[in-house]
Amino acid sequence: MSRVRVKICGITRLNDALLAVHQGADALGFVFYPDSPRAITAEQAQAIIRELPVFVTTVGLFVNATQDVVAREVAQSGVTCLQFHGEESAEYCESFSLPYIKAIRIKPGMDVAGSIAAYSGSSAILVDSWHPQQAGGTGEGFDWSVLQGLPEDTPPLVLAGGLHAANIAAAIQQVQPYAVDVSSGVEDSPGMKSGRKIREFIDEVNRVRQ
Low-confidence winner among 24-38, 69-83, 121-135 (lowest mean pLDDT): 121-135
Q: Where are the domains of the chain?
A: 5-208
Respond yes or no: is residue 128 known to be catalytic.
Answer: yes
Q: Which of 16, 81, 93, 128 is catalytic?
A: 128
Percentage of residues in the chain with pLDDT exceeding 90?
Answer: 86
**Looking at domain 5-208, which CATH architecture does it have?**
Alpha-Beta Barrel (3.20)
Binning pLDDT at 50, 70 and 90, where does residue 62 land? very high
Closest CA to 60 of 106, 99, 18, 108: 99
Low-confidence winner among 36-50, 96-110, 140-154, 184-198 (lowest mean pLDDT): 140-154
Name the residue with higher pLDDT: 102 or 138.
Answer: 102
The answer on pLDDT for 170 being more than 80 is yes
The answer on pLDDT for 9 being more than 90 is yes
Query: What residues does 57 pair with on adjacent strands?
Result: 27
pLDDT at residue 131 in the model: 58
- pLDDT per residue as tens digits for the range 118-169: 999 999 999 998 655 555 455 577 889 889 999 999 999 999 999 999 999 9
pLDDT at residue 46 in the model: 98
Check residue 164 and report its DSSP letter. -
pTM above 0.85, yes or no: yes
- pLDDT per residue as tens digits for the range 183-205: 999 999 999 999 999 999 999 99
Mean pLDDT rounded to a whole number for the chain: 93
Closest CA to 8 of 34, 41, 31: 31
Strands 100-106 and 81-84: parallel
Q: Which of 9, 16, 81, 93 is catalytic?
A: 9
Closest CA to 77 of 102, 105, 52, 107: 52
Respond yes or no: is residue 9 known to be catalytic.
Answer: yes
